[in-house]
Amino acid sequence: MTGSFEGRTALVTGAAHGFGRAIALAFAARGARVVACDILGDGVAETAEMAGASCEALCLDITDHGGVGQALADLMTRHGGVDILVNCAGGVLGQVGRPIEEISPADWTAIVAVNLSGAFYLSQAVAPGMKANGWGRIVNISSGAGLGISLTGIQAYASAKAGQIGLTRQLAHELGAFGITVNNVAPGFVRSNPTTERQWQAMGKDGQKKLVESIALKRLGSPDDIANAVLFFASEEAGWISGQVLSVDGGK
């Protein structure tokens, strides 16, 4: 069903590790030209090397509106634009849960910028090319925190991911007339990067057991589980699906 993306160019942000890396590798394995994007230059270069010749690395700060515009203009020149955009970059930027009165404006703004504003900037940059082509796929990676609460209690993270879900629905209606679908994947807890690994260890054995027992399938997922959902949304078979949020969390 999601077998081939030959002739398509896919831009994947947050591709230096975790979900983004798995998504970039999955598209490359299925014939897409992949632009693996991240602010972590070494990590995204490693992803491109793992993916092979059809994947290139792009070191980019997605919170820099001007830089995003310049990078997309270059991609337009070299590849004729972007067919598939996966907004995967995000995270908590090393922050931990604290009482609301302890949160500085800078802490709040930083998380909102990378989880919400960056997705907006990239979507804004690719939209003209997708409109011109009459076809496009935008897939945002939010979180169970955007549908409920943050397990770590980080107010900005839950808010930004909820905002990203709202952006998904809004853009689906704005861009649908141009043959562009916009959907959202909301992962459950997956040990996919150094941050989630620290969160897992901090839970202790009792907390880990409690978390797994709360999942219908009684196991944690993997980055490939998230990549598979993205591939579906990006496929031709999902052409009449837009504005949707798919929870990939093992069942709650």
Note if 121 is an active site residue: no
Cα separation, 248 vs 85, whole angstroms = 19
Catalytic residue among 5, 19, 120, 157: 157
| Backbone φ, ψ for residue 193 (5° rounding) | -160, 175
User: Rounded to whole angstroms, what are the CA distances from 203 to 23, 160, 191, 200, 242?
Assistant: 27, 24, 12, 5, 36
Listed in sequence order, the residues at least 6 apart from 235 whose beta carbon sits closer than 8 Å to its beta carbon are 1, 2
User: Rounded to whole angstroms, what are the CA distances from 191 to 21, 141, 150?
Assistant: 14, 16, 16
Spacing of C-alpha 199 from chain mean position: 20
Cα separation, 190 vs 249, whole angstroms = 8
| In contact, 1 and 237? CB cutoff 8 Å | yes
Cα separation, 220 vs 162, whole angstroms = 23
Q: How many residues does the chain have?
A: 252
Closest alpha carbon to 222 in 251, 195, 248: 248
DSSP one-letter code for 84: E
What is the set of active-site residues?
157
